[in-house]
Structure 1
Amino acid sequence: MITLYNLKQSRSQRIAWLLEALNMPYEVQNFDRDPVSKLAPQALRDIHPLGKSPLIKDGDTVIAESGAITEYLLTRYGNGKLRPAPDSNDYAGYLQWVHYAEGSAMGAFLIQFLGSSESSKPFCNAQFDLHINYIESSLKNKTWFLGDELSGADMMMSFPLQFALTLVPKGQFPNIERFVSQVENHADYRKACERIGELELGKSS
């Protein structure tokens, strides 16, 4: 059975969502953040040196990084679900969104959140605008990122967009807002939250 190591208020919801969507049995081990530093406890670093979440364990194998976990689970256990076939027209787009989520989008959103010096603000603002507008336009007239079908790409993009919406006025990016609402009301996402708790980005702790 898969074990999901969940650091509270992390990126774990999307992996729990994936496990629920694949109808896979899994167990959850929850970890609280340090109340001052907000970092992971030593117990999580004992499982993986980075002390990041999500982590999964499958047998003796521990895997970090949401994108790697997503690809591992879909390759080993997906049976063709939640991703297009490698010879399909959608496969390249699928790969792009899976890796773009943490490779480019989240970086641009984080530097906007963390602030910047006066000299770097123009660059940071421009990068934030570039990425959020690219995503907004990519979702136009689409149910999910690849069209009508949910995929692992949507699961990977869910957390960056939930985060991004805390940084902008409501109503500015309607396609992203619709996507996030769709994510948070998806039946399997709701089951995931029942297992590991709600994500509370933008809410004071």
Structure 2
Amino acid sequence: MIRVHHLNNSRSQRVLWLLEELGQPYEVVRYARDPKTMLAPPALKALHPLGKSPVVELDGRMLVESGAIIEALVERFDPDHALSPAPGDDDERHLYRQWLHYAEGSAMPPLLLSLVFSRIRSAPMPFFVRPVARGIADKAMQAFVGPQLVTHLAYVESELGARAWFAGSRFTAADIQMSFPLEAAVARAGDQAGPNIRAFVERIHARPAYQRALATGGPYALVG
């Protein structure tokens, strides 16, 4: 049995969705974020030194890192390439591999920094420190994070204008991997997330397997 250590409002939602698309049975072990810090509970660190989710138990191994987990599950449970390009389709395989890595390697860092600086601006602190902290956060957003967000969202918007799905004309696990940053972009970046990105998010939300995973995973604040 596949066991998914699932943290609410986290990347592990993608793993539940992938398993639903693959039609594989799995067990969910739930963890809740600290409501004040929004950090994962100590129980996850007891499971794995990084203390993060997703963690997947498969064949006696602990699998971590969303992209690596997705690759491992697709290799094991998708022999007919329903969710991955078939051997010999070099163009789609190139795109598939690129977007599997782009999601966490390039797309998530500016989104995460945007969230961090937003929390700095609203965090409780002594009144005499507040203007300094907010000034630093605003400067970082204006000089670096904001322009990076614009660049990456424009790139993704353009790519989704060229084709319906990230690896080509059909849905693959690369689209599952890209779901989290684009859901975050739609939820947090406002109008910077263009119509192609929003249409992609609407398409994935309409998939029956996505809906089943949402029902299994519980409340997911990135949706809606």
TM-score normalised by length of structure 1: 0.92
Long gaps (5+) in structure 1: none
Partner of 1:190: 211
Partner of 1:46: 46
Pick one of 92, 95, 102 that aligns with 1:93.
Answer: 95
Contact 1:74 1:81 in 2 (8 A): no
Q: Deviations over 1:168-195 (max 9, x none)?
A: 3358510000001111111100010111
Q: Give percent identity, aligned residues only.
A: 41
Paired AA for residue 157 in structure 1: M
Q: Deviations over 1:134-190 (max 9, x none)?
A: 000100152211232111110000000000112333585100000011111111000
Paired AA for residue 85 in structure 2: P
Paired AA for residue 87 in structure 1: G
Paired AA for residue 11 in structure 1: R
Aligned length: 203
Contact 2:186 2:193 in 1 (8 A): no
Partner of 1:82: 83
| Structure 1 residue runs of 4 or more that deviate by more than 4 Å after TM superposition | none
Q: Which is higher, the Rg of structure 1 or of structure 2?
A: 2
Higher helix share: 2
Q: Deviations over 1:85-127 (max 9, x none)?
A: 3431210111000000000001122222323352663222211
Contact 1:171 1:177 in 2 (8 A): no
1:180 aligned to 2:194? no
Moved more, 62-71 or 39-48: 39-48
Paired AA for residue 93 in structure 1: L
Q: Deviations over 1:14-41 (max 9, x none)?
A: 1111001110010101011122222222
The whole-number CA distance in structure 1 between the counterparts of 2:114 and 2:192 is: 19
Partner SS for 2:139: coil
Q: CA RMSD for the aligned pairs?
A: 1.8
Partner SS for 2:190: coil
Partner of 1:18: 18
Summarize the alignment of residues 1-205 of structure 1 with structure 2, pairs less than 5 Å apart.
1-79=1-79, 80-88=81-89, 89-115=91-117, 116=137, 118=139, 121-170=142-191, 173-201=194-222
Paired AA for residue 6 in structure 1: H
Q: Deviations over 1:58-81 (max 9, x none)?
A: 121011110010000011221123
TM-score normalised by length of structure 2: 0.84
